[in-house]
Chains A and B, each alone.
Chain A
Amino acid sequence: MSFELISNTIAAILTLCIFSFLYKDNPFYKFAESLFIGVSMGYAIPLVYENAFIPFVWTPIFVEHRLIILIPTIMGIFYIFRFTKNLSWLSRFPIVFGMAIVGMGVPMSIHGSVLVQMRSAMLPLDNINTVLIFIGTVTILMYFFFSKEHKGLYGKITNVGVWFMMIGFGASFGYTVMARISLLIGRIQFLVGDWLGLIK
């Protein structure tokens, strides 16, 4: 029995354990779920230790004696105080630094998600696509203008916006169905192909 066959058989049994939830909740499902969480954590901890703690904390401080690294290290340790009752306030300091990074992203986000999008919505109305983009953008923006009651002509215009949004949600839902089926296909390809060898 080759290693590949053994590993595929274990993976197949665990996959079937997870699929058994479709029938009803059962201990096999719970076992596979817990095992997955344990293995993920077990894998991640040494990887992070090896790739983050050793090169960015241990080596600079204890090998290269760059004591300035103690400051971010202590800041990082403050995060752990989140779990204590009396000292949880210390965790706010690293959070503040995190927020500063978020702040750095604001102008760039405005550029990418607002300014460039606006520029692309302001195109000459010379084909059906730009006309649809124009109508969709304006009517949806009007729908989200809540200072005026959606009644009469204004209500009819905002209704057009609702239709545009419904089409958008439909497209998203269609893609979601496609994605979920793809994941199922991937698992069944593994079971039927890699494990049972029935796909040629």
Chain B
Amino acid sequence: MEKIKPRNFFDRMQALDRRYIYLVVALSIILPLIIPFNSKTYVTEPTENVYKKIDSYAGRKDRAILMCFSHDASTMAELFPMEVAILRHCFERKIPVFTICFMPAAKPLMDYAIMTAKEDYNVQSGIDYLSFGYKPYGLFLPILLGMGDDISEAVETDDQGRKIDSLPIMKEIRNYNEMNLVIDFAASAAVYSWIIYARAKFGVNVAAGITAVMAADNYPYLQTGQLTGMLSGLKGAAEYEKLVDIFATHRDENGNIASREFSKEILKETWIKLSDIQDRRYKTARIGMNAQTVAHVMIIVFILLGNVGYFVTRKKDIEPTG
């Protein structure tokens, strides 16, 4: 009769019900969210470049950025915080900003992002910002190419059905020469269309706010300079939130807003305690990164345990039983 091998720790780990792993992952996310700590957010160069580019338009009426929302609610966790952070940056530094989407499901997210960001600012649609609204995807290329000549002809009406050429925000903005930065927020290869059409044909600066899944695919475009900058996933959003807090919404000793220019030295020296930021909407990504840190450690531990277990049990199987 065959003897049953004694089950050691690794045997048990190999046969562990996957639902226990789900439970541990859930706990490793829930606990850091409830008991927050200050994990350090290092700002990477692609994020810095997006921030610097947008900030270079501060206070100018003849420069604007276009934010294209190309995602639905399934990737909101990663992309929404970066959209809010960029809108806050624009509202704070008086940078004209346009928004557009070509997916029906992106429309409510676009409206929600604008609503969330503008709560603390006295900004008006048509003057400080403008939502072009939802446009059918069939018009994506005609609009993308048409904006190279004349935005008001290509887009015609805004979110509220107003003719955009009569709006104050359009006074000094005609085409990509003025609206010189396009940021596409996507969980897909949507940014690629902006690179190959808008960038190649009109030389417009293109940046990407993308989910982490898409980041590796977009690095070649970043490395070749076809992307001005890139925010990758929740980490990119956390980095941008930090930059906005340190520079755009910086406060002086009296608590008044005193925006300042980007500086590597200031960035290096400044330490922001998350508990000092009262509004949770403005630190969503950074709180999330706390949980991300713990979850990653857990996953690394699982991978190590799984591999050690695999090799131990394999070695045992190969060894001849006396």
Interface residues in chain A, defined as those with a beta carbon under 8 Å from any beta carbon in chain B: 22-23, 40, 43-44, 47-48, 51-52, 55-56, 101, 105, 108-109, 111-113, 116-117, 119-120, 168, 171-172, 175-179, 181-189, 192-193, 198-200
Contacts and interface: CB of A to CB of B under 8 A. Distances in A.
Interface in B29-82: 29-30, 33-34, 36, 74-78
B235 A47 contact: no
Given A185-B291, A186-B77, A189-B288, A112 B195 contact: yes
A105 B212 contact: no
Nearest to B81: A186
Contact of B34 (A43, A172, A192): A192
Contacts of B221: 112
Contact of A52 (B29, B136, B211, B292): B136
What 4 pairs between A and B have smallest CB-CB spacing? A186-B77, A179-B212, A52-B136, A44-B104
Interface of B: 19, 22, 25-26, 29-30, 33-34, 36, 74-78, 104-105, 107-108, 133-136, 138, 141, 157, 192, 195-197, 199-201, 211-213, 215-217, 220-221, 223-226, 232-235, 275, 280, 284, 287-288, 291-292, 295-296, 299
A181 B29 contact: yes
Given A178-B235, A182-B288, A56 B105 contact: no
Contact of A116 (B30, B136, B226, B284): B226
Given A23-B19, A179-B211, A186-B288, A105 B196 contact: yes
A40 B103 CA distance: 11
B36 A51 contact: no
Nearest to A76: B138
A182 B78 contact: yes
10 contacts: A48-B104, A48-B136, A108-B201, A109-B196, A112-B226, A175-B212, A184-B25, A184-B295, A185-B292, A187-B77
Contact of A182 (B196, B197, B212): B212
Nearest to A192: B33
Contact of A175 (B104, B196, B232): B232
* Interface majority SS (helix, strand, loop, mixed), chain A: helix
B47 to A, nearest CB: 15
B238 to A, nearest CB: 10
A149 B42 CA distance: 46
Q: Which of B104, B157, B215 gathers most chain A CB within 10 Å?
A: B104
A117 B220 contact: yes
Given A40-B105, A193-B280, A199-B34, 18 more contacts: A44-B105, A47-B107, A56-B136, A101-B141, A108-B196, A111-B196, A112-B200, A120-B225, A168-B216, A182-B211, A182-B292, A183-B78, A185-B33, A185-B291, A186-B288, A188-B291, A189-B288, A199-B33
A48 B137 CA distance: 10
B136 A175 contact: no
Given A112-B195, A175-B232, A198-B34, A182 B216 contact: no
B31 to A, nearest CB: 10
Nearest to A40: B105
Nearest to A47: B104
A193 B36 CA distance: 12
B261 to A, nearest CB: 29
B104 A43 contact: yes
A189 B213 contact: no
A110 to B, nearest CB: 9
Nearest to A119: B224
Contacts of B36: 199-200
B212 A178 contact: yes
